[in-house]
């Protein structure tokens, strides 16, 4: 059940104390012997809170030194591009990282005029910088994505532009924790006063080249010619200046409904649990923009680092991310002349509506575990036209089939909604309704269930043989997976499918819960039964 504050403007009493967060960043010293205070790279880098001693100056000192050592061993000697979002801990973390990078004589580029840099803009920049370079360049995005204002995050992007894989992040993580245990003795630093006089630092305009190149991936002319009304809410995130530049360069009818940058995110509507969370796929967090739906032909928003998209239409309001991804795949293959044998990537917990659309297009589906990192190589090499995950993150190739970004790009996903609305004269919500008429209606949900650390370990290591049941929700079980069908990588849990439904279960990396994703193509009652039996089945397996 939703919290009483869900969808309502955040009251003053729940806003974060910014001064306390900043003070804790510098004064709290993590105890590396405490599991919750160690450096831990999940699917999107190291994340935590300064108050809880899980994201502090010492973490960033250790991670950055470990990253310098990794780059040296890997032969990466080019520019380290560093971007930040609008979370309050991002700026001090950037300063700390620069103190270490510059002391290690790593050439760094940061944004001019103290601007913020969206994740996709950084990915694009890394790829562009490596096109004609004899040395490899890479980058760091300092962001906890859509997480609450109290959180910080630090993510490493490889020379291929995408988030580092676990073989790299585990090396950095382990070395960083060693450095913390050794009381930071191996960390090289310069003083804060020396940062902006360092010969290894360059201030750079990340935004303009990205925006100027948008017409190589989106039909910006069709959007301008259609003169549709577009509403955009940056949700106080890092891409506000990107949208201003888009409006300036392409002269489209784009109305930025909220230009506030506020580290408390006081303008937000509360999420389902009453917390401030900049989740552009949440109808509660997005209630302000949803209320404006009738005013615009298409409207959209992004999370603070702009790797996620939120699409608001006149026909259905806020689109479910799974629904929109299905439409995107269909539209891209209806409007782009890509090579015939190119594949479409999805995470295994994304809707099976995507499978149905891909089958209708007679294309190859590439299903992978949760995490955008699994799409990086395919997008980079051009064997994947599209990679998308259930949490409103995706990217795709340019019109000529070449790589654009290898990290999630909420900006191009939003602009594509404007392109299809302009060219088809109907919004993506109407297109999805047509899918329901053709393929059936999807009933999809994610729920959380409590689990101890030991139980999460068991779930992560389940085998197919551990599941003895022959039926699920009154249907015969057709397949049980502990590895993804596309790349044979471990799910870190399991997926069970029947003719008209499926569920997947995965342990949370940060909380004492496991997540169940389920989908029915019958009805809501069948979905409820799927979830109940899934919980029973998983509980028995991890007792």
Burial environment of residue 359 by CB neighbours within 10 A (0 to 12, 13 to 18, 19 or more): exposed
Return d(Cα 534, Cα 94) in angstroms, integer: 43
- Alpha-carbon distance of 241 to 502, in angstroms, equals 42
Other beta carbons within 10 angstroms of residue 195's beta carbon come to: 18
Quick check: is 145 catalytic?
yes
Nearby residues of 138 by Cβ (< 8 Å), 6 or more positions away: 71, 76, 78, 79, 80, 81, 126, 156, 157, 158, 159
Choice among 44, 49, 145, 350 that is catalytic: 145
- Please say whether the beta carbons of 410 and 190 come within 8 A: no
User: Which tokens hold the place of 110?
Assistant: 């940061």
Strand segments (E) across 271-322: 298-302, 309-313, 317-318
- How many whole angstroms separate alpha carbon 33 and alpha carbon 286? 39
348 is written with which tokens? Answer: 């295994």
Distance of CA 107 to the CA centre of its chain: 27
Give the DSSP per-residue string, 428-488.
HHHHHHHHHHHH---EEEEEEEE--HHHHHHHHT--GGG---SEETTEE--EEEEE-TTT-
The whole-angstrom separation of Cα 494 and Cα 481 is 6
Exposure on the CB side of residue 468, measured as CA atoms within 13 A = 2
Quote the Cα angle for 270-271-273, to 5°: 105
How many beta carbons lie within 10 A of that of residue 258, not counting itself? Answer: 17
- Which residues make Cβ contacts (< 8 Å) with residue 35, sequence separation at least 6? none
- 32-to-51, 179, 303 alpha-carbon distances in Å: 15, 10, 31
Q: Which pair of tokens denotes residue 33? A: 């012997």
Distances (CA, A) of 333 to 328, 337, 357: 9, 7, 11
Q: Specify which residues 393 forms β-bridges with.
A: 308, 389
Which residues are annotated as catalytic?
A: 145
């Amino acid at each position: 059940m939703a919290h009483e504050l869900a969808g309502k403007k955040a009251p003053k009493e729940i806003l974060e104390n910014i001064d306390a967060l900043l003070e804790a960043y510098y004064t709290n010293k993590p105890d590396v012997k405490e599991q919750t205070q160690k450096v831990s790279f999940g699917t999107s880098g190291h994340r935590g809170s300064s108050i809880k001693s899980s994201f502090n100056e010492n973490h960033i000192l250790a991670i950055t030194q470990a990253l310098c050592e990794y780059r040296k061993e890997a032969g990466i000697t080019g520019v380290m591009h560093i971007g930040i979002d609008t979370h309050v801990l991002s700026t001090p973390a950037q300063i700390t990282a620069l103190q270490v990078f510059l002391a290690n004589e790593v050439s760094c580029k940061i944004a001019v005029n103290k601007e913020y840099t969206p994740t996709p803009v950084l990915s694009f920049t890394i790829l562009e910088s490596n096109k004609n370079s004899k040395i490899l360049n890479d980058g760091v995005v300092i962001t906890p994505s859509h997480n609450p204002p109290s959180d910080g995050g630090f993510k490493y992007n490889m020379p291929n532009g995408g988030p580092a894989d676990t073989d790299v992040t585990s090396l950095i993580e382990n070395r960083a924790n060693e450095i913390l245990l050794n009381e930071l003795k191996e960390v090289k630093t310069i003083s804060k006063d020396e940062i902006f006089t360092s010969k290894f630092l360059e201030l750079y305009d990340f935004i303009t080249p990205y925006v100027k190149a948008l017409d190589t991936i989106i039909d910006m002319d069709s959007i301008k010619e259609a003169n549709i009304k577009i509403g955009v809410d940056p949700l106080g995130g890092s891409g506000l200046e990107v949208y201003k530049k888009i409006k300036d360069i392409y002269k489209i009818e784009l109305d930025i409904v909220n230009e506030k940058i506020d580290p408390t995110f006081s303008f937000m509507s509360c999420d389902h649990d009453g917390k401030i969370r900049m989740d552009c796929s949440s109808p509660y967090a997005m209630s302000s923009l949803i209320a404006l739906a009738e005013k615009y032909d298409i409207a959209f928003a992004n999370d603070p680092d702009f790797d996620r998209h939120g699409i608001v239409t006149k026909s259905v309001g806020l689109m479910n991310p799974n629904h929109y991804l299905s439409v995107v795949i269909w539209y891209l293959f209806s409007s782009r002349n890509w090579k015939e044998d190119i594949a479409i990537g999805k995470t295994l917990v994304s809707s099976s509506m995507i499978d149905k659309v891909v089958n209708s297009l007679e294309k190859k589906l590439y299903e992978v575990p949760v995490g955008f990192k699994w799409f990086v190589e395919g997008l980079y090499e051009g064997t994947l036209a599209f990679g998308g995950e259930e949490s409103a993150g995706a990217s795709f190739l340019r019109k000529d089939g070449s790589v654009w970004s290898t990290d999630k790009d909420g900006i191009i996903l939003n602009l594509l909604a404007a392109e299809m609305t302009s060219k088809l004269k109907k919004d993506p919500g109407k297109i999805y309704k047509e899918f329901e008429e053709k393929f059936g209606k999807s009933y999809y949900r994610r729920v959380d269930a409590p689990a101890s650390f030991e139980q999460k370990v068991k779930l992560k290591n389940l085998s197919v043989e551990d599941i003895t049941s022959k039926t699920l929700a009154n249907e015969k079980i057709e397949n049980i997976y502990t590895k993804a069908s596309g790349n044979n990588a471990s799910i870190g849990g399991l997926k069970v499918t029947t003719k008209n439904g499926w569920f997947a279960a995965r342990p949370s990396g940060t909380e004492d819960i496991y997540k169940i994703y389920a989908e029915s193509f019958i009805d809501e009652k069948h979905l409820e039964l799927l979830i109940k039996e899934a919980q029973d089945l998983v509980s028995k397996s991890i007792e």
